[in-house]
Amino acid sequence: MRRAVLLDRDGVVIRTKVRGGLPYPPESPAEVELDPDAGPALAALSRAGYLLILITNQPDVARGSQSRAVVERINTLLLDSLPITDCFVCYHDDADDCACRKPRPGLILEAARRYALDLAASFVIGDRWRDVAAGCAAGAATIWIDRGYREKAPAQPPDAIVSSLGEAASWILAHAPGDRPRMNTD
């Protein structure tokens, strides 16, 4: 069994545009801006032996405001420029009631099957409540990057609350696989 860090894409690995307090993904590969911590943080996690996998909801495809081809080009750009092994994508919207759309753990469980992941020794990093809920449901440790969006916070307490991908990577590297102490968030 392998240990992994499963990362949300938008707001974690790449920057989002925030409008009205809500995050929006880039509309094209030309708009992709890596999070400043992405390169060093992901390199450190990879050196530590973690498999790095993107798990991302892309409901704009189902809504008709984004094409699947553009999402795939953005994902390929990330796979080619960062030490990421794979990318699992849900192209559905909530109304589709699929098992792969976070907060359900379908993408994480699919990655675990494909790569023989030990989810109890793995981590999910996300910037939205859906990421934390999916990670909790899959049995992984969860790290919430609080970007200050105007939406609800995670209902399940994450294992850590941080303000950047670099802080998330440092927190992971400070804890042994499977060791899941709760961060004091008071």
Q: Which amino acid is at 180?
A: R
Could you say which of 10, 60, 127, 131 is catalytic?
10
Quick one: average pLDDT of 29-51? 97
DSSP secondary structure code for residue 165 in this structure: H
Complete domains list, the chain, with CATH: 4-173 (3.40.50.1000)
Whether 8 is catalytic: yes
Instruction: Find out whether 51 and 2 touch, Cβ atoms under 8 Å.
Output: yes
pLDDT band at 182 (very low <50, low <70, confident <90, very high): very low
User: Which residue's entry shows tokens 């943080």?
Assistant: 41
Q: Which residues pair with 174 in a beta bridge?
A: none
102 vs 151: CA distance, rounded Å: 15
Give 71-106 pLDDT, tens digit per residue.
Answer: 999 999 999 999 999 999 999 998 999 999 999 999
pLDDT in tens, 115-140: 999 999 999 999 999 999 999 999 99
Q: Is the pLDDT of residue 170 over 70?
A: yes
Check whether 178 has a pLDDT greater than 80: no
Catalytic residue among 8, 35, 131, 159: 8
pLDDT at residue 60 is higher than 50 = yes
